Chains A and B, each alone.
Chain A
Amino acid sequence: MKKIIAAGIFGLSLATSGLAYAEPVKIGVITTLSGGGAGLGVDMRDAFALAMKQSGNKDVELVIEDDAQKPEIAVQLAEKMIQSDKVDLLTGIIWSNLAMAVVPNAVAQDVIYLSPNAGPSALAGAKCSPNYFNVAYQNDNFHEAMGQYANKDYKKTFILAPNYPAGKDSLTGFKRYYKGELAGETYTQVGQTDYAAEIAQIRDSGADSVFFFLPGGMGISFMKQYAQSGVNIPVMGPGFSFDQDILPAVGDAALGVKNSASWSKDLDNEANKAFVEAFQAEYKRLPSVYAAQSWDTANLILSALGKASVKDKDAFRAALKAADFKSVRGDFTFNTNNHPVQNIYVREVVKEGDVLTNKIVATAFEKHGDAYAEQCKM
């Protein structure tokens, strides 16, 4: 009798390990699908859903909800997904302030969170967690890259960002690598739409270049007003203000601007070609950095699901950490703090036919980690 039971258990365990792929997996996607920031969330969701669809994996169930870019709603959704939907994994958040509201709480309940965007410094350093995987970047990365690149051509840069944590991180990141002199350092209001006063100061400052971080509509407003102001000082910034979701609204004013990102449409690798083609065929538009990161997040999850059961947290975490997937960004590994080690590129805005897009002109960093990994004890 004992033998039969033992054989049965053995058989069952074989079956479960063999069927690791077949058990249903629930993934909670909290992202911004309404309001002014919806463009980013829509790209995130579309790329994620497309990657899942292409994999042909029928066992993955997505629970997608709109956080309306509000931290309190994101927190409620996360609670709902963990408590009543019983999701195995959480992902999707675009904004750092929402991530800060949701992630520490979720990972404390032993839910694995994968960030497709947003990498606040706290979560990379002291508050890092084995349950938190950032597949995108640490917030400072793109700004650091621009600071590094600016050393080549510029000696006196005027820097500008909104007066909130990510804005301050941005200028800190830029200054960490920039060696020249600052012509001025200005903080604007969050959500500011008129930059005439700042542009007048730039004109007066004698700067030889301008670095700005103004995400979303703020960047569109700034670029349009800057182009019309008669100031001819070259501008640069992180890729957020020059990405596929924003370029059509900025128009030709963005042509020639250098910007930094971990991904570009023209990155030469098989995974990226397949991704850009599939995304364009499905949605009739070019993908953005957010879409690329989200695509990678989905493929990372799929790769881990192929290796381990999501119910076996330790094995699944190890499978995620191995990052055994074909990233559209080329080489991709996880640092000790579960944040990416990747190349950061400098791109230039160009026109292909009628469409504004980016092409890579330089590599600012190769295999770049982040400044906070040392503070992470896990």
Chain B
Amino acid sequence: MNAETNGTGGDPTAVTGGFEVDERERRRDPLLRMIGLARPRGGRFALGVLLGAAATGSGVALLGVAAWMLATAADHPSITALSVAVVATRALGVSKGVTRYLERLVTHDAAFRTLAEVRVRVYERLAGTEPFGRFRSGDLVSRLVNDTETTLDLLVRGLAPPLVSVVTGGATVLFLTSVYVPGGLLLAAGLLLAGLAVPLAAAALGTGPGRREAVARGRLSTTLVDTLQGAPDLVAYGAMERQVALVNEADTELTRVAARDAATLGLSAGANALITGLTVWGALFLGVLAVSDGSIGPTALAVLVLTTLAAFEIVAPLPAVAARLGAIRASGERLFGVLDTPAAVSAPARSGLEIDPEADTTVRVRNLRVRYGPGEPWALDGVDLEIPAGATVAVVGPSGAGKSTLASVLLRFRDPDGGRVEIGGTDVTDYPADEVRRVVSGVPQDPHVFASTLRENLRLARPGAEDDELWAALRRARLAEEVEAMPRGLDTQVGSHGLGLSGGMRQRLALARAVLAGPRVLVLDEPTAHLDPDTRDGVVADLLAAARGFSTLLITHDLTGLDRVDRIYVVREGRVLQSGTHEELTTEAGWFRSVSER
């Protein structure tokens, strides 16, 4: 087979492994899509909305019934005429608090259930598409997680209150219409203005100021970061005063923008007060006219005015909801941006093909080309390389040479854009990604240590492994003695990101994990990148000793300890510049010798 004709190429429409997103779905408003995520919990949400409507309704009804009771009592009827109203008033006094409490519990419960499901869906998608190229910055990951949490916010604070307002507002308007039609219509107009028009107008008016403030705040924040983190450099070079002047300039700008926009942002508070006041006035005015011409009785007037007065509680939560819509939509866009990514690795044409680990597991890389997007420069531009079974091979080169891209192709984090990678003579893209990883495993750059125990971190590689297997792996990675010295041994909690361990121990733990997985080929990507010079040499020696018996690919920018490997490839700007044994490379004129000189 010929490498050129058989490469999968850089076709962006490659099969995405059953994770395609419908084009129409993709174009929908992210807000609607986020609400769609909650659909399975529709019943609970409906219950929450009903309880919320009962709570808000109780408050309005309390004043309406009480007004009716007083207006009726003013004519001194017998006590029986009031008995129902008395009971109703007391009941409403209790029901408001109780239903409000239940509503909050039910909606939060539904929201947390949805959040748990959204988390799983986000995770399944990420696990299915493995877009690790986007994972370079930890910031992106934490933002993704935050955006997931934002859906909770949307559901609790964004979804229920408007629905409750619609139900309660509609019921109140209907009731008042039955008392006096113009009064009902007036309230409808007032509620629509205060609950819908003003919040939306305020949100629209607020986008401009919000954006201006965000820009000014961004500038201030960047300048502040520079000032505080670069403080030693600034002081040493006598530039601190100039820098503080820059901070104050940015601060002045932000304050000026914020102070100017305060006048705009205050408008909605004023508008709401005006609408409420004038609607009550209108109800009073219309009601008094209606009483004088006899269309309603004086009792109805009291009910009309006091119900109208109480009804604006219905729309009180809406301005806050409208103000948050923009932020929630933005986080939804980011969330779906990740969820809609096509898979980084194509599924094989034939499924179920298995690698025989006992057969030849020589890895051959042939004319491999990879780039991170059409038009981007080639990260790997025709690399040829061989890892014979059982051999130790090192790939060295300056940062940015494409070394880590090679590791991510071997670990099946991405497809070749040209050329091919073979295991025992078969193209790796013919196997499912996880099948390749049964044979090729290792320590990726920045291996993640989970906030759990040492045992759990190790067992990740082989679930159900016995303790003696774990100890054997630890011994091989030269970590056993340190772990034995820990009071809790394998049950030691390693802390978030394994920060309870030293950098060298984290690398050795990751290595023990890789050894335990029992692959045929170990890929070690920059195992010493974050270690201080004191520990670096020991770690390389231990890694290479532990890797004996595996085929090993050591990727590094550090030339120490390379005399122990079978073959060295020098990679620079995506191409193999030199290859040979350590002895050959140190004697032959070229990159390797020139940079090893001191």
Chains A and B form a bound pair: no
The chain B residues found within 8 Å of chain A, CB to CB, are none
